[in-house]
Amino acid sequence: MAFTACAALCAVTACSTPPRPANAVIIPGPASADERVIEDPVDQRFVLYDTVKKVAVSWTNVSNEFVYNFTTPSDLYTMGNSLTNHFSIVQLQNGRAVTVYTLPDAAHDAIFPLAADGQNAFFLLVHYRDDGGEEWRHIVRWDPTTRTLHPFVHVEGAIEQGALAGPTLYFTVLRPDRAVWLYRLPAANLNAEPQLVSTHWTDDPLLAYEGRLVKVADHQFVFDSIHLPVRAVNVLTPQGVLVQFDDDPKSLTTRADVFQLSDGRHLGSATSVEGVEWMPNGVQLDCDGRVEIVSWSYAGGEEENPS
């Protein structure tokens, strides 16, 4: 359904004092200095992890409650219920999950991460009717200073995915005939008119590196001559490191693999992954019984993989 974001402006920006953040679901909180909240990207939940015993203590396990992450490293997430909504934006701060924004219309709105680059964050805001049917979708920009959401005025359609490539925000729209169209607009201009880039895109993950989109063909990421398979969860760092998560059929646990996109090098992996913590130049994989750290100094640099 086509829509214009102007009608919902006051619903998502600071037209009045924002409500005090609160969650309908209890997020596990650390009971000691040894415990930290981390994110499980495959099961889509927050996990309370004991860093000394190296085990998961508890996790969000409410029925139909899910945590959603960006496809780039970020401390911002959204969480909500697939049946009752009650969505919020949550930030991981020093091992704790802190709710920084709750949607004013908790029963009818949902919010999902769309694109982020470490400084800017954009979300997909979805509004549902009383009967549960979807009414419209907006792309909104997060203002961390005022904790408000600001919509793009001229964006419309069944928006699905997004990616930031330098100053440009790309997003895909699912058409009534199931075709996927790709658009772009300047990320800093909320009044910009989207430009159509392609009418023959794919519904695979939308990732960007070095100011351009990463191509996908036959369910594989293609960057120059490098081909890497698409996994269940794919996160691409600013250094061009692809961190992937999926179910491991051999161990029946979550497996993580880390690749350098520019040359296809395999930098590290881990099984029995309970959750992930992002570092400035690396990723910490908190596993059942151990912690694996995969670090990198710069794109194309030498890797380190201390256990």
CA 170 to chain CA mean position, Å: 15
Residues in the chain: 307
Residue boundaries of the structural domains of the chain:
35-230
- Read off the DSSP letter of residue 6: G
The DSSP code sequence of 118-146 is SS-EEEEEEEE-TTS-EEEEEEEEEETTT
**How do strand 220-223 and strand 226-229 relate by DSSP bridges?**
antiparallel
Q: Print pLDDT tens along the chain (307 aa).
A: 333 333 333 334 333 334 434 555 567 788 899 999 999 999 999 999 999 999 999 988 778 899 999 999 999 999 999 888 999 999 999 999 999 999 999 999 999 999 999 999 999 999 999 998 999 999 999 999 999 999 999 998 999 999 999 999 999 999 999 999 999 999 999 999 999 999 999 999 999 999 999 999 999 999 999 999 999 999 999 999 999 999 988 888 999 999 999 999 999 999 999 999 999 899 999 999 999 999 987 544 444 443 3
| H or E element, residue 12 | helix 9-12
pLDDT of 23: 52
Q: What are phi and psi of 5, to 5 degrees?
A: -75, -15
pLDDT of 28: 77
Q: What span, in angstroms and rounded, lies between the C-alpha atoms of 180 and 275?
A: 32
Environment class of residue 196 by beta-carbon count within 10 Å: exposed (0-12), middle (13-18) or buried (19+)? exposed
Residues 6+ apart with CB under 8 A from 34: 50, 51, 52, 53
Q: What span, in angstroms and rounded, lies between the C-alpha atoms of 54 and 250?
A: 22
pLDDT of 178: 95
Model pTM score: 0.88
